[in-house]
Amino acid sequence: MTVTIGGVSGTAERYGVADDEVDIERVRLSMLARTLDPGTFRLLERVGVEPGMHVLEMGAGTGSVSAWLAERVGPQGRVMSTDIDLRFHADMPPNVIVRQHDAARDRLPAQHFHLVHARAVIQHIPERVEVLAKLADALRPAGAMVIEDGAMAEFAEQTLPEPLGSVHRMVATAAMSQWRDPNAGVRVLGWMRDLGLQDLDARGSVRIMRPREASGEWWFLALERAVPRLVEAGAVPESDAATALEQMRAPGFAMLGPTSIATIGRKPASSEVQP
């Protein structure tokens, strides 16, 4: 039995959100952005974002990172902000080009970008290795690739009170189907190495998650959206579902978020990526 957080199938299961879930997904994505953006901004500052650069933000979500990048590349720079679903993307400054883009199928300009960045995207793309190769091809010589992704399997296995623990594991592993790699963040460094990227580096972090704080709400809202489907599918008794939702909203409750791994690589200064 497969239960998906989005409750949809096919291409929509892989990428999309049902029409009746748009509002709650917009809130959830904004909570995720509030949680992750400060670390992403520090990371990109360290990598280097300068006026006049051309930057790709793939899987932009709400566009919060794209807007931050736009300010730093300035009016002479450009940010291409892409997502397969633009319903959650905010209005952008004039130096941001917003494009609906399927990373697995659509083309990117060759040797165009000084920097490409993707956060919490690669694990959801079955053709992830091919997509990373596309991103490498889209980089200018000496350009930087920054991929942030997670180690979700260990997130699923943490100790939690029951029945919340069982429900959490079920939802955390529900989307671990044939097309998703929950531990993509652990593998990106090796994929970058195989692509011939250089100056490889990585940074990892784990955050605490609490109810009524952005750090936890991005996940708790997903649980609240998924649990009724688990009950409907007969995977969780209704009484256990209600108890689990109460447990995660209890005052003082805290749990570990997934490990986030940011991996950095640079294209060789030569126009050809060395094997």
- Convert the pLDDT of each residue in 31-71 to its tens digit: 999 999 999 999 999 999 999 999 999 999 999 999 999 99
147: in domain: yes
pLDDT at 172: 85
221: in domain: yes
218: in domain: yes
- Convert the pLDDT of each residue in 176-187 to its tens digit: 556 778 889 999
- Average model confidence (pLDDT) for the chain? 90
Task: Give the integer Cα–Cα distance in Å for 147 and 224.
Answer: 29
Q: Coil, strand or helix: which one is 267?
A: coil
Q: Please give the average per-residue pLDDT across 107-116, as a whole number.
A: 97
79: in domain: yes
35: in domain: yes
What CATH number has the domain bearing residue 231? 3.40.50.150
Q: Please give the average per-residue pLDDT across 203-226, as a whole number.
A: 94
255: in domain: yes
Q: Is 90 exceeded by the pLDDT of residue 9?
A: no
pLDDT at 175: 54
> Phi first, then psi: what are they for 257, rounded to 5°?
-80, 175
Flag whether the pTM goes above 0.85: yes
Q: Is 50 exceeded by the pLDDT of residue 5?
A: no
- Domain range spanning residue 258? 19-266
pLDDT at 258: 93
Q: Please give the average per-residue pLDDT across 6-14, as a whole number.
A: 39
Output the DSSP codes for 59-107: S-TTSHHHHHHHHHH-TTSEEEEEES--TTPPP--TTEEEEE--TTTS-
46: in domain: yes
Domain count, the chain: 1
Q: Kindly tell me the burial class for residue 112, based on how many C-beta atoms sit within 10 Å of its own C-beta (0-12, 13-18, 19 or more).
A: middle
Q: Please give the average per-residue pLDDT across 153-158, as a whole number.
A: 90
Task: Give the integer Cα–Cα distance in Å for 208 and 58.
Answer: 26
99: in domain: yes
